[in-house]
Amino acid sequence: MIVGVLNQKGGVGKTTIAVNLASCFSRSGRRVLLVDADPQGSALAWSAARQVDPDFVVVGMAKPTLHREMPTLAKNYDMVVIDGAPRVNELGRAAIMASDLVLIPVQPSPYDVWAAAETVQLIREARQFKDSLRAAFLINRKIANTAIGRDFHAALAQFPETPVLDAALIQRVVFAESAARGLSVLEVAPRGEAARELQRLADLIIADKERQAA
Ligand SMILES: Nc1ncnc2c1ncn2[C@@H]1O[C@H](COP(=O)(O)OP(=O)(O)OP(=O)(O)O)[C@@H](O)[C@H]1O
Ligand SMILES: [Mg+2]
């Protein structure tokens, strides 16, 4: 299964989520490939900051032909996670076309809702060629112990074909602390709250994979 973590908006948590999801999937025994599809090379930089190799493979592939190369790339893996590039539409399109499921991280702010329209539009266009494509919003950097405003949910509901996943990630300092050392949250604090939330997200994705396969 190929999971694209994509949003044309910068800084919403794509790399953070992609790296940690890859780590989550590989800890549950799956063969995992993390594709850095961003010319900034942030996932590759994460991997280079490590003392030891991660227990999954990281490759750079910031190319508008990613979707064509994906079948060959993905052949020997159970799960592929794509860390998407912001802003560049042709890279966004290729990453969307390469994915079975697109996760769109959004922070609970009106700016993120306004900016989401662009990514949703790319997904609409991609569905004309690939109607099996699935996509969902993933709320990231939610402030702990706050209800997400009804207005925020209502605003996201203007994109009815893109549901909001029932697995938000909370704003937590462990995400930046672990990244600085080239580690995943699961390596730094495997029993922490952030690890538990990531595991819940990974479980939802695997359940989706199994439903599609059934
Ligand atoms: N849940 C979170 N809690 C705390 N900090 C977070 C969380 N998610 C992301 N961040 C921080 O937000 C910043 C941006 O995250 P990240 O680089 O993953 O975003 P991005 O979408 O990949 O950015 P770009 O568009 O530049 O590729 C980083 O400093 C990261 O540590
Ligand atoms: Mg990034």
Atom of ligand 1 nearest to the CA of 173: 4
Our answer on whether the CB atom of 13 is closer than 6 Å to any ligand 1 atom is: yes
Give the domains, in start order, of the chain with CATH numbers.
Answer: 2-213 (3.40.50.300)
Assign 3-class secondary structure to 102-131: EEEEECCCHHHHHHHHHHHHHHHHHHCCCC
Gyration radius of the chain over CA positions: 16
Q: In the chain, which ranges are E strands?
A: 2-5, 32-36, 57-60, 79-83, 101-106, 134-139
> What distance in Å separates the CA atoms of residue 34 and residue 3, rounded to the nearest whole number?
10
Phi/psi of residue 139, each to 5°? -75, 125
Average pLDDT rounded to a whole number, residues 69-81: 98
Phi/psi of residue 82, each to 5°? -105, 125
pLDDT higher than threshold 90 for residue 151: no
- Sort strands 57-60 and 32-36 into parallel, antiparallel or unpaired: parallel
pLDDT higher than threshold 80 for residue 21: yes
pLDDT higher than threshold 90 for residue 95: yes
Atom of ligand 1 nearest to the CA of 9: 25
Our answer on whether the CB atom of 11 is closer than 6 Å to any ligand 1 atom is: yes
pLDDT in tens, 96-116: 999 999 999 999 999 999 999
